[in-house]
Amino acid sequence: MITRGQKILISILVPLAIISGTVAIYRVYRRHKEIQEAEQGRKDIEETLARRPKLTPPGGTRNAETEVEPSAEEEYPRFYSDRKVADLKPAERAKLAGEMLDFLARADNTPEQRDRAYRTLLNCRESAAVLLYNALNSDDTRKQYYMLKACTDLRDLYFMDVSEGRSFAEAARKVPADVPPDVRTQLARLLGCYRDALSRGRLDKLADDEDPGVKYAALVSLARVGNAASVPIVAAALDSGDPAIQAAACRAMNAIIAYDAGTEFVSAPDYKDALQTEVAKWRKWWRDNKAAYE
């Protein structure tokens, strides 16, 4: 005969047993599901890796991390990751920098290839610096464009120049005046990294360039390194009909004169009225102070 107490105990234990069994079954089910998902994930990764191109660089060692699919195996250069470039010896980095520069001078590469080649060139750093210095006056204007651009980035990003007694500016100032506008634009950017009088003098000429892109780059550089001698050429740019040129001229005037005439404009602003107010202030300042610069 089951007593009343036993009935109460059974009524408590049976639901607990059912709940415990259900939880145990659910845990087994979840564990089985996790194993299945992990296995499927592994298969997906293996399938993805299997679809990747199998590349073999010169020397026979395959390394997909450092290379990309070649369009023409015999002509395509090797693009190295940052870490791989750092592991190379100086002579190997110099050779690699030369290969990247030659590749950038070609007209048949894609934007993605140019970007990777350019980053590889910059990662050669000191080894690329000497190469760029020696070749800044190349007859190949496409190569010259990338050389000037790389010199600017090495100077700006890595605070790097050629050596104790040589600077990129020294070679850049020898670039002819009749190079294409995109090359002159990169020249203006590079010279803006230097404060010597010769570089500023060349920038003054570039700020009077007929090409608006060159003029704009030169004015922005003069905002960095210009001095009082540059004020007349910068003031003349205030009369430009191009809002971007006017904005760059205002920026340069504000930086050189160290006089707060209003908001500093870095590029063509959306609010033309505000820009014209700024331009008017600098025109008035120039009329009042022009005699001091003659």
Per-residue pLDDT at 55 exceeds 50: no
60 dihedral zone (left: phi>0; alpha: psi -120 to 50; beta)? left
The pLDDT of 57-71, averaged and rounded, is 41
Per-residue pLDDT at 76 exceeds 60: no
- Which of 40 and 189 is assigned the larger pLDDT? 189
Per-residue pLDDT, 43? 67
The pLDDT of 154-174, averaged and rounded, is 87
The pLDDT of 84-89, averaged and rounded, is 80
Structure tokens at 86: 């750092």
The pLDDT of 96-121, averaged and rounded, is 88
| CA dist., res. 120 & res. 269, Å (int) | 35
pTM: 0.69
Per-residue pLDDT, 50? 57
| CA dist., res. 283 & res. 290, Å (int) | 10
Could you give the dihedral angle defined by the CA atoms of residues 26, 28, 32 and 35, in that order, rounded to the nearest 10 degrees? Answer: 110
Least confident range from 30-39, 239-248, 280-289: namely 30-39
pLDDT in tens, 209-226: 999 999 999 999 999 998
Find out whether 277 and 262 touch, Cβ atoms under 8 Å: yes
The pLDDT confidence band at residue 15, using thresholds 50, 70 and 90, is confident
Structure tokens at 45: 């990764």
The pLDDT confidence band at residue 25, using thresholds 50, 70 and 90, is confident
**Residue 191 identity:** L
Residue given tokens 């993805």 in the structure block: 48
Find out whether 235 and 249 touch, Cβ atoms under 8 Å: yes
Per-residue pLDDT at 100 exceeds 80: yes
pLDDT in tens, 171-207: 999 999 999 999 999 999 999 999 899 999 999 999 9
The pLDDT confidence band at residue 246, using thresholds 50, 70 and 90, is very high
Q: Which residues make Cβ contacts (< 8 Å) with residue 105, sequence separation at least 6?
A: 140, 142, 143, 146
Find out whether 225 and 199 touch, Cβ atoms under 8 Å: yes
pLDDT over 90, % of the chain = 34
Per-residue pLDDT, 86? 75
Residue given tokens 């940052």 in the structure block: 82
Across the chain, mean pLDDT equals: 80
